[in-house]
Amino acid sequence: MRAAILTLSDKGARGERVDESGPTLAAWLKERGVTTVQSRIIADEFTEIVAVLTEWADADAADLILTTGGTGVSPRDITPEATLQVVERVIPGLGELMRIRSLEKTTMAPLSRAVAGIRNRSLIINLPGSPKGALENLEAVWATIGHAVEKIRGGQEDCGGRFTK
């Protein structure tokens, strides 16, 4: 599987903060056999987020596109809105599952507005900006990602009974 990681951070884009979430996610993915083919840090700017997500998905640059940052309730947290502009189909269950699992660790989990969806043949998932939060949220949905990517990319394998607890 190929992944791309987009970090949304005004300070990071200006060089005032080191991105820890992107490299943390890339290392975690590598341990699971996933190759990070793209990574970028940009400011929390709607048009820029839309442009990068669209570019990566339309170029089939990655099977899985992860964003980190901008999922909260601050005025500059616009990643979900930009993502919804890009995706063709929303997968609400992924965001719901991330919030449910996060609630086990923090009472602030309901403030996450992360979304997930599909554009062309790419699965796009919003994750929190902190390395810890990003990993916890990705871990929460990881068991579903391989199958989702397989189906999005046209896999015909039947999943009935294959994925039970």
- The CATH number for 108's domain is 3.40.980.10
d(CA 134, CA 78): 16
Residue 160 has pLDDT above 90, yes or no: no
If you average pLDDT over every residue of the chain, what do you get? 94
Verdict on whether the full-model pTM lies above 0.75: yes
Phi, psi of 155 (to 5 degrees): -60, 135
Average pLDDT of the segment spanning 125-132: 96
Residue 158 lies in a domain: no
For the segment 34-59, what is each residue's pLDDT rounded down to a tens digit? 999 999 999 999 999 999 999 999 99
Contacts of 47 (CB under 8 A, 6+ apart): none
Domain range for 61: 2-152
d(CA 21, CA 44): 15
Residue 9 lies in a domain: yes
Task: Work out how many domains the chain is built from and give that number.
Answer: 1
Please report which confidence band the pLDDT of residue 155 belongs to, taking 50, 70 and 90 as the band edges: confident
Higher pLDDT, 159 or 60: 60
Residue 145 lies in a domain: yes
> Residue 74: exposed, middle, or buried by beta-carbon count in 10 A (0-12, 13-18, 19+)?
exposed
Residue 157 lies in a domain: no
d(CA 4, CA 54): 12
Residue 4 has pLDDT above 60, yes or no: yes
pLDDT for residue 159: 59
Residue 164 has pLDDT above 80, yes or no: no
Residue 55 lies in a domain: yes
Q: Which of 106, 102, 82 is nearest to 94 (CA)?
A: 102
Average pLDDT of the segment spanning 1-19: 95
Tokens in use for 91? Answer: 């997968």
d(CA 156, CA 118): 17
Residue 34 lies in a domain: yes
Q: Using alpha carbons, list the distances in angstroms from residue 11 to 14, 94, 160.
A: 5, 28, 46
Identity of the amino acid at 99: R
SS3 21: helix
pLDDT for residue 158: 64
Average pLDDT of the segment spanning 89-111: 95
Residue 165 lies in a domain: no
